[in-house]
Structure 1
Amino acid sequence: MSKGVKTITDAEFETEVLQAEEPVLVYFWASWCGPCQLMSPLVNLAANTYSDRLKVVKMEIDPNPLTVKQYQVEGVPAIRLIQGNNILASAEGVMGKEKLISFLDTHLN
């Protein structure tokens, strides 16, 4: 059963991401970002496909400047794969389904 994608804020980041037992895919997005609209379905797909070994959260960049700055998000859409205090992988810009699956498979297997 899918856990789905949870929307989080700066205040929830430590609890939801840094203290999570499993790796966490953090999807940074903005409501005004056209390419983010293309990525959202893929992020949902990742949450459904990898729900057994990955937690997926999304964070809107404008109301959450602390985390955006800390994780050096310079453009959206952006993703960070985080486990504990470690960034396992990061990417910015739109990626297709195959690239996202390859990105996740490389770091989760």
Structure 2
Amino acid sequence: MSTTKDVTDGTFEQEVLQSDKPVIVDFWADWCGPCRMVSPVLNQIAVEHAGTVDVVKVNIDENPRVAAEYGITSIPAIYLFKDGALKSSVVGARPKHYLEKEFAEYLR
């Protein structure tokens, strides 16, 4: 059973940009209430779409380089990368059906 995986400044390139499948990245922090609300939703997506997409988490307080590189100013920021490029993004906690619709073409 697949769940989300923690990614760091040091592993972001390998785990996200060099991945052979789409990767949903959850930029979050411990102190962020909306981040805690969306976390179970992303875990569900990770389980239901295992094999199609990877779902990873980047704690912006512990990994400021990646957060700065992608201009993260509000969290949760949920970005989808494919073939090393940012393809779609959602800022703020959203329900599962919203995220699945936003990322639909990559969840097939």
Query: Structure 2: which 5+ residue stretches go unaligned?
Result: none
Q: Quick one: distance in 2 between partners of 1:85 and 1:106?
A: 16
- Residue 82 of structure 1 is matched in structure 2 by 81
C-alpha displacement of 1:107: 4.1
Q: Quick one: distance in 1 between partners of 2:32 and 2:9?
A: 20
Counterparts in 2 of 1:1-109, with a 5 A limit?
Answer: 2-109=1-108
Contact 2:19 2:84 in 1 (8 A): no
Question: Which is richer in helix?
Answer: 1
Q: Deviations over 1:66-87 (max 9, x none)?
A: 1001111111111110012211
Q: Report the TM-score when normalising by structure 2.
A: 0.93
Contact 1:89 1:107 in 2 (8 A): no
The share of aligned pairs that are identical, in percent, is: 38
Q: What amino acid maps onto 1:28 in structure 2?
A: F
Kindly report the root-mean-square deviation, in angstroms, between the aligned alpha carbons of the 2 structures: 1.2
Secondary structure of the 2:78 match is strand
* Runs of 4 or more above 2 Å deviation: 106-109
Q: Report the TM-score when normalising by structure 1.
A: 0.92
Secondary structure of the 2:88 match is strand
Q: What amino acid maps onto 2:41 in structure 1?
A: L
Query: Structure 1: which 5+ residue stretches go unaligned?
Result: none
Q: Quick one: distance in 2 between partners of 1:106 and 1:83?
A: 11
C-alpha displacement of 1:106: 3.9
Q: Quick one: distance in 1 between partners of 2:50 and 2:100?
A: 13
Q: Quick one: distance in 2 between partners of 1:4 and 1:94?
A: 18
